[in-house]
């Protein structure tokens, strides 16, 4: 994978971490998890990067809903692999992370322990 491809992927994932929770809450109300279709709709409405949307689905939907969507769509995404990548880069390797909220003032900041919790 090239430098720019990796850079753009990481940038998209960071924007999902920092922006998507509030946008999902604003649109669908507070929930533990959202469907892949809800995640895509919000990403489209707010013009977030759709090329890496599988990572957003792995972060904000259940494994069951993620796997169902992937199977119906004929994609080759793997829930555990995508969560592991996000966990390793942004959550200290804690694959049980759950993003609970963000503050609008932090949109340009980095993901940190105030924004997530690990159920491990």
Q: Domain limits at 107?
A: 3-118
Give every residue of the chain whose pLDDT is below 70, as ranges.
Answer: 1, 101-120
* Residue 76: Cβ-neighbour burial (10 angstroms; 0-12, 13-18, 19+): exposed
Burial of 115 (0-12, 13-18, 19+ CB in 10 A): buried
- Look at residue 102 in the predicted model and tell me its pLDDT: 54
pLDDT of residue 100: 74
Residues 66, 58 contacting (CB under 8 angstroms): yes
What is the pLDDT at residue 53?
A: 98
Looking at the 3D structure of the chain, how many domains does it have?
1
Contact 22, 100 (CB under 8 A): no
Quick one: how far is CA 88 from the chain centroid?
14
91 contacts 111 by C-beta, under 8 angstroms: yes
């Amino acid at each position: 994978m090239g430098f720019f491809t990796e850079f753009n992927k990481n940038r998209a994932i960071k924007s999902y971490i920092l922006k998507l929770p509030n946008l999902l809450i604003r649109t669908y109300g507070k929930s533990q998890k959202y469907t892949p279709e809800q995640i895509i709709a919000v990403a489209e409405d707010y013009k977030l990067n759709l090329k890496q949307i599988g990572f957003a689905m792995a972060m904000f939907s259940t494994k069951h809903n993620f796997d169902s969507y992937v199977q119906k769509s004929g994609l080759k995404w793997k829930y555990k692999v995508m969560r592991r990548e996000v966990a390793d880069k942004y959550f200290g390797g804690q694959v049980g992370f759950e993003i609970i909220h963000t503050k609008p003032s932090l949109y340009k900041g980095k993901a940190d322990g105030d924004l997530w919790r690990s159920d491990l």
